[in-house]
Amino acid sequence: MKNLLALFVFSLLSFQQSAAQNIAYEVIRTQEAPGYFALRVYPGSDLPELEVETVFVENFDSTAERKKFTNLSQSLKNTGLSLLSSTQATELVGSDKHRLVLLGGPVQNRWLQFAPQDYTGLSEQFEMFSLTKLGPVYLSNINAEFGGNVSQVRPDQVPFLDDQSTYFVGQFDKEMKTRVSLSGETPELTVQADGIMDLTTYKPHQADSMLENLWKELTPTNAATIVNPSLWNLKSIVTSSFPFLLGFIGLLLMYLAAKPSKLKTGMIAQMDDIFWHTPIEETPLYQAWEENFPWELTDKELKLTQVAN
Amino acid in position 99: R
Q: Is 166 left (phi over 0), alpha (psi -120 to 50) or beta?
A: beta
Q: What's the CA dihedral at 90, 92, 93, 97 to 10 degrees?
A: -170
Nearest CA to 161 out of 182, 138, 143 is that of: 138
**Strand, coil or helix: what is 103?**
strand
Spatial neighbors of 149 by CB under 8 A, at least 6 apart, are: 172, 173, 174, 176, 178, 199
- Does residue 5 carry a pLDDT above 70? no
Which 3 state secondary structure label does DSSP give 194? Answer: strand
CA angle 197, 3, 228 (to 5 degrees): 95
Pairing of strands 177-185, 190-198: antiparallel
Asked whether the predicted pLDDT for residue 229 surpasses 50, the reply is: no
Which of the two residues, 128 and 286, has the higher pLDDT score? Answer: 128
Is residue 38 classed as helix, strand or coil in its secondary structure? strand
8 A C-beta contact, residue 25 and residue 41: yes
Q: Which of 32-41, 97-106, 204-213, 218-227 has the lowest mean pLDDT?
A: 218-227
Q: Strand, coil or helix: what is 219?
A: coil
pTM exceeds 0.85: no
pLDDT-derived band at 252 (thresholds 50, 70, 90) equals low
- Which class for 125: exposed (0-12), middle (13-18), buried (19 or more C-beta within 10 A)? middle
What are the tens digits of pLDDT across the range 157-181? 888 898 878 889 999 999 999 999 9
φ, ψ (nearest 5 deg) of residue 111: -120, 165
Peptide linkage before 155 cis (omega within 30 of 0): yes
**Mean pLDDT to the nearest integer, 5-21:** 39
Which pLDDT band, with edges at 50, 70 and 90, does 269 fall under?
A: low
pLDDT more than 70, % of the chain: 64
CA 168, CA 101: separation in Å to the nearest integer?
20
| 280 or 54, higher pLDDT | 54
In residues, how long is the chain? 309
For residues 259 and 143, give the distance between their C-alpha atoms in angstroms, rounded to a whole number.
Answer: 62
Looking at residue 283, its pLDDT comes to 61
